[in-house]
Amino acid sequence: MPGFELFGDQERNEVNKVLDSGVLMRYGFDGMRQGQWKALELETALARRMESRYAQVVSSGTAALTVALVSAGVGAGDEVIVPVFTFVASFEAVLAIGAVPVLCDIDDTLTLDPGAVEKLITPRTRVIMPVHMCGSMADLKPLKELCEKHGLVLLEDACQAIGGTYDGKPLGSYGDLGCFSFDYVKTITCGEGGALITNNETYKNNADHYSDHGHDHIGTDRGAESHPFLGYNFRISELNAAVGVAQLGRLDDFISIQKKHYSIIREALSSIDGVTFRRVPEAGEENYSFLNFFLPDENLARKAHKALAEAGIDGCFYWYDNNWHYIRKWDHLKNKESLGKLPREVAEQMPDYHTADFSASDHWMGRNISVLIKLGWEEASVKERAGKMATVIKAVLG
C-alpha cells in the first residue's frame, strides 16, 4: 500500500486508450469512443472480483458511502452507527444526507464492538456501518445478526481493506452494501475514485441514477433521459477509471507483496514481551496493508512511537493523537461546526460528544501503533527495518 508505488505500463496503456478516443466522460459521446467505456469496464471487473452482482464506481470513497446510504433509502433523522476510530469521511457521508452519526466504541479488532453496537440501537437506527480500518475487519457475523434481528442495513466501509476476506467472502460483499476508496494512497488507486458493491438490484439502480443527477440512463440519447428522482454529481472520469482498471488487475499481486512484508515485520516483533497484536476475527484474513500492535500502556506507546521516528523509521502512526482518525480530535464534529446550517434533525438528535465516555476505545487506541506496509520495499530493506524496529521497541520496554 499504496498502489501508486508500482505504477507502470499497464496503467499508461489504459489511460492512453482513453486519450486516443478523446472522450473523458463516462456517459455519452458514443460515436467518438472507439469502444472505450472504462468506468463500465471497471464496474464489471470489480463486481466479478468482489463476487457481487453489481458495482457502481464514483468519484471518491466518500461519494461511495454517501451514494450507498441514499441508495438504501437513508435520509434526514435516520441514525447510522459508526465507530470512533475511522476516517472523517465515514461520518461526513452520514451528515451530508441529513442523517445522524451515532459514534460507537471499538474493541481489540480496532473496529466496532458488537456488544456496544447493540446498546445504541433505537427505533431511528437504519444502518450499522463497520469500518474495516487499516486493512482488517470487524466481527461481521454478530453485526449481521443484529441487522437481521432489527431490520437494519449492514454497510461495510471497506475503503482501507480491499482484498481482505471474511468467512470466505471478499470484504465489502458480506453486508448489504460495501464501499471502497481508490484515492491516491489506497492499495489500488484511480488517483481519485471509489465504488460501492451490492447484490440488491434496487440499491444498484438507485446508485446508478443518484450519482449522475438522477439520470435513468435508458436509451442512447442522454438529453432525452428521464429523472425518476433528484440526484447529484458523483461521477468518475474515464481517465481515473482507466487507472483503476489496470490497478484492479494487479490487486492480488499487491496483496501478496503486502503479506510477505507484513509477515517479516510481525515475526520480528512477535518475540518481544509486552507486544501484542490486533485481533483479526477467526473467519477473516486482512489485506496486510498495516500491521497493528499494542504496547502495555499509553505512556510506553507514546515513547515507542517517538523513538521509532527518531530512529528514522517512517510510516509508524499513533492514531490516538491523529486529527483525522479518532474521536479525541474531532472538535468540528463535537461542536457541530458547519459552513451552512445543519439539518434540524442533526442539531437536535446528535449526542453531546464532549461528554461521551469512550474510555473503552481509549484503552485500545492509546496503546496502539500502526505500521504502514509498503509495496515498493526490497526484501532486504524490510528485514533491516524489522530488526531495527524490534531493537527500538525492546529498548523502550526495558
Kind and range of the H or E run holding 82: strand 79-83
Q: Which residues contact 363 (CB under 8 A, 6 or more apart)?
A: none
**178 closest CA partner among 201, 203, 200, 195:** 195
Residue count of the chain, please give it. Answer: 398
Question: What is the location of CATH 3.40.640.10 in the chain?
Answer: 3-250
Fold of 252-397: Aspartate Aminotransferase, domain 1 (3.90.1150)
Alpha carbon distance 67, 51 (integer Å)? 20
pLDDT at 232: 97
Catalytic positions, please? 186
pLDDT at 1: 82
C-alpha cell at 379: 526484501
Q: Are 350 and 80 in contact (CB under 8 A)?
A: no
Provide the residue-wise pLDDT of the chain in tens; the chain has 398 residues: 889 999 999 999 999 999 999 999 999 999 999 999 999 999 999 999 999 999 999 999 999 999 999 999 999 999 999 999 999 999 999 999 999 999 999 999 999 999 999 999 999 999 999 999 999 999 999 999 999 999 999 999 999 999 999 999 999 999 999 999 999 999 999 999 999 999 999 999 999 999 999 999 999 899 999 999 999 999 999 999 999 999 999 999 999 999 999 999 999 999 999 999 999 999 999 999 999 999 999 999 999 999 999 999 999 999 999 999 999 999 999 999 999 999 999 999 999 999 999 999 999 999 999 999 999 999 999 999 999 999 999 999 99
C-alpha cell at 396: 523502550
Q: What are the backbone angles phi and psi of residue 26, rounded to the nearest 5°?
A: -75, -20
Q: Which residues contact 100 (CB under 8 A, 6 or more apart)?
A: 77, 78, 79, 80, 94, 124, 345, 346, 349, 350
Q: Are 210 and 232 in contact (CB under 8 A)?
A: yes
Fold of 3-250: Aspartate Aminotransferase; domain 2 (3.40.640)
DSSP character at residue 198: E
Question: What is the location of CATH 3.90.1150.10 in the chain?
Answer: 252-397
**37 closest CA partner among 24, 56, 50, 55:** 24
- Tell if the pTM clears 0.75, that is, is over it: yes
pLDDT at 134: 98
